[in-house]
């Protein structure tokens, strides 16, 4: 069984529901940051500090889900590329609700986590071209930071399982922060993979072996990371927007047309070489066969080395 740290031993602050309501002006729409299938996120203020307050949908999440979330952060500790976890709220209240023409007392359990507030949006804004063109040094910093954060997860035997642009947030310095750990898996030290019949995550960023056979391993995250890298660079080029990121990257690689995609004023020869290296790494990470993908420590070594990585194998859907 995975290591489990009892919630009361984590040292994280447990907030009351009244504190959460006060911080968000009673969860007002004015404080709303975003809404997903599993939770609604609000901007809040606690002790004069801006925070992000994630309120889970009670109908879809049980108490153990927040326990799992807290346990993950207890194992992770703090890391510069993982969103900082500040505390949580688990509180059951009883409210009168109208049911079949009469009022009945209903039990409502609030499940909330409190995290650092990240003011600069997420990676989707860059990929979709919704923010001003960025300097390549910032893009390289983002790719490096994502790799460092995922490598830390894997070092702690945690697999994220839902790495996608919306789950890469940016702090005030555009430092990337991985968030949303509801779907992550915690493995025992000696376990490297497992198989499930219930898929969860975001289809466009799932590894092929997970979709086809339900295989879960660290290589799932490696595949997602590769897609994030390729999608980010494609977004910077403002080209191939109707193509799959892997297909776009292979076309660019084989046509050797990288120089034509970027303004020479903003992307010199040395930067083009760095872009090419990251496309190469992204293609290695998205190999069909998980055994042919690097580990995240391998990725970090490739990012920080001038040696040319091994040649990737074209995916099955690329016609040659």
Of the ranges 19-23, 47-51, 220-224, 237-241, which one carries the lowest mean pLDDT score?
Answer: 237-241
Of the ranges 26-30, 31-35, 46-50, 58-62, which one carries the lowest mean pLDDT score?
Answer: 58-62
Residue spans of the domains in the chain: they are 7-116, 123-303
pLDDT at 270: 84
Q: Are 202 and 164 in contact (CB under 8 A)?
A: yes
Q: Which of 76, 89, 122 shows the shortest CA–CA distance to 19? A: 89
In order, the DSSP letters of 183-204 are T-EE--TT--EEE-SS--S-GG
Q: How many helices (H) and strands (E) does the chain have?
A: 10, 12
Q: Which of 99, 98, 75, 97 shows the shortest CA–CA distance to 85? A: 75
Residues 97-148 have pLDDT tens digits of 777 777 777 666 778 999 999 999 999 999 987 777 788 999 999 999 999 9
What would the mean pLDDT of 197-215 be, rounded to a whole number? 92
pTM: 0.89
CA 59, CA 164: separation in Å to the nearest integer? 25
What percent of the chain is predicted at pLDDT more than 70?
A: 90
Residues 38-52 have pLDDT tens digits of 789 999 999 999 999
Residues 234-286 have pLDDT tens digits of 988 877 777 889 999 998 888 877 877 876 667 778 888 899 999 999 999 99
CA 276, CA 270: separation in Å to the nearest integer? 10
**What is the CATH code for 7-116?**
3.30.200.20
pLDDT at 308: 79
CA 232, CA 285: separation in Å to the nearest integer? 14
Residues 65-93 have pLDDT tens digits of 677 888 899 999 899 999 999 999 987 76
Q: Which two tokens stand for residue 216?
A: 């879960």
Q: Report the CATH fold assignment for 123-303.
A: Transferase(Phosphotransferase); domain 1 (1.10.510)
Per-residue pLDDT band for 5 (boundaries 50, 70, 90) equals: very low
Q: Indicate if the pLDDT at residue 10 is higher than 60.
A: no
Number of C-beta neighbours around residue 108 at 10 A: 12
Give the alpha-carbon dihedral of 190, 193, 198, 201, to 10 degrees: 100
Could you list the active site residues?
Answer: 162
């Amino acid at each position: 069984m995975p290591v489990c740290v009892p919630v009361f031993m984590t040292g994280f602050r447990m907030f009351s529901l009244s504190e959460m309501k006060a911080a968000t002006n009673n969860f007002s729409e004015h404080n709303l940051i975003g809404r997903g299938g599993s939770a609604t996120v609000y901007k809040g203020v606690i002790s004069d500090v801006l925070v992000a307050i994630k309120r889970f949908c009670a109908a879809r999440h049980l108490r153990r889900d927040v326990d799992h979330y807290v346990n993950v952060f207890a194992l992770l500790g703090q890391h510069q590329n993982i969103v900082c976890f500040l505390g949580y709220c688990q509180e059951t209240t009883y409210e009168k609700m109208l049911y079949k023409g009469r009022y009945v007392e209903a039990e409502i359990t609030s499940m909330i986590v409190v995290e650092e507030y990240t003011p600069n949006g997420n990676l989707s804004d860059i990929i979709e071209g919704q923010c001003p063109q960025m300097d390549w040094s910032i893009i390289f910093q983002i790719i490096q930071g994502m790799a460092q954060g995922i490598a830390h997860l894997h070092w702690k035997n945690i697999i994220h399982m839902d790495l996608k642009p919306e789950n890469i947030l940016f702090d005030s310095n555009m430092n990337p922060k991985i968030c949303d750990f509801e779907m992550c898996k915690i493995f025992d030290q000696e376990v490297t993979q497992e198989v499930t019949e219930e898929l969860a995550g975001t289809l466009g960023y799932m590894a092929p072996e997970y979709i086809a056979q339900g295989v879960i391993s660290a290589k799932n995250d490696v595949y997602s990371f590769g897609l994030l890298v390729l999608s980010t660079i494609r977004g910077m080029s403002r080209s191939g927007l109707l193509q799959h990121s892997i297909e776009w990257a292979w076309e660019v690689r084989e046509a050797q047309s990288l120089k034509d995609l970027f303004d020479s004023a903003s992307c010199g020869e040395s930067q083009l070489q760095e872009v090419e290296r990251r496309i190469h790494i992204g293609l290695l990470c998205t190999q069909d066969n998980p055994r042919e993908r690097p580990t995240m420590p391998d990725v970090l070594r490739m990012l920080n080395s001038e040696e040319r990585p091994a040649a990737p194998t074209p995916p099955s859907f690329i016609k040659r």
